[in-house]
Structure 1
């Protein structure tokens, strides 16, 4: 990757990573990208029915800019200030995603290969993974994954007939950037502050500690459908290689009406039949993430992601005392309609919540709870 950011994101893809005749779309921020194309035995593009209409809609949505009323934008130069965590925490507690430009790693000139991941992230080419496949999803949405090895995923990256991703690459050594690490209240306060008084004496699910770091890997042209992340967690993501259009949705009104929030999430999950309703009831912004950019989303944030070029990102989940009112709403959505609203289930939430509750009497007075308590 170079520091240049060309608007034409189709260069070098046609005929090598995607079909030569792949359709294209121009985004509201000036980028041109391919539209996904995987064909059946009758030369019908299986992405025409669902993926392409969604992407065309996303491409028309407004760009998230620094003056956004929904998203708070920072840059790397903001991070040395002593009160940056307070500002980020306040934004997240108000249900506003936070973007920080230029904070992560940026390996200039490195191509995204299995060797690259092995060299910089200790992700072995022989790692076993679950591969999500667009063609399989289009033919049967209940059977979208297959077991494979990471090196085979990279081989198929150069197959114009395949569009795939790996959503869950455990990366326990990854964590929030150093300047942001204390945002993870589940670990910093829940676990760190309670094991002296309440030692760990029973089985504890490893996800309490491992989901703080993971990686995701995508071929060019992969659309992640609208969803929210499960179990009431906050999510952070850092672009390492490539580009992503991260699209976030909010209700135009009735922001505290959980039935309305549930309806929005469900309708977004069946976009092609509800596009007119979504246009009437949702505000939307597109956050374009480049290498080095970090995005932090509050709980229950419904979002879709389009990956126009082969990309690699790291990220993780965490909890925050100031966002527990949003965590409760997110978990309500999980219980009421979870199967159609999220792309991955977690298994550690209640154990971390118990630790966070036990830790409340010992909290620093600097820590603000939900609602400013």
Structure 2
């Protein structure tokens, strides 16, 4: 029997058993890593399963081992801030797509936990309810208390993107989260800009710190003056407000880099409301390359990262932590492509003084 002989239907455990010459119970033990079968039998069963393109339902494996067949994602943001950020839509899309392939469920909780105690209680409640077998940790912070929390709760976890400091938890992402920012600063320098600014997110977030470090290093390398680094909250309102503050300074920038595309678009519109044209008067650079960025007028120059792929790989890594057999990436979990600059119409030569 080969895949073509299945007449277009999905292979079953009975198919595997028939071709391998074993019982269905032996197939189950082989693919679930259980005792009771020889290594030769296990190898033969796995080879047949691979040839037919069959893999066990991760949820079934989890239930066999006493798990819930679900993983959790707690997002500590106010719902109004989350709704305007396409980053999480792409990230969750990648996670859900992969989990679904393995028969796993995703439990999503959104809430604004104003203190570390409330945040810890949210994870403790989730663990106590036994509704999830593991969790994703995103937007990690300096000294993130969640690292200790999940360890104390014995809750498997995977960190989304590189943490700021060493954490005894697996993480998935690029080894150089600030790479695209370095490219953006160089691009602006080559266009003749000498006074630039950076609208950041909260400065306790790991990814913001990596980007800030990259921005300052690149600005110094190219001899550019940093005339402002206001903090924002990733929202459109924050992007607009900080842009107006920067443009009302005595020494104002000719180019601004933003920590996400949402703030960049809002910043461009805010500048336009003051009679400033993008890119003739002010060059704009975003981050994340959300789907609408290329359709704006002018199209947005931005730093692209494959957030959907990031979500897919994070899901695979967490499944591996839970004992689900998955194929590991050939270059490892921390070798995703660095963020890269995509040059479009929102950046141009520096205006004449």
Query: Shorter-chain-normalised TM-score: which range?
Result: under 0.3
Which of the pair has more CA radius of gyration?
2
TM-score (norm 1): 0.25
Kindly indicate whether structure 1 or structure 2 has the higher relative contact order, using CA contacts under 8 Å at least 6 residues apart.
1
Q: Higher helix fraction: Structure 1 or Structure 2?
A: 2
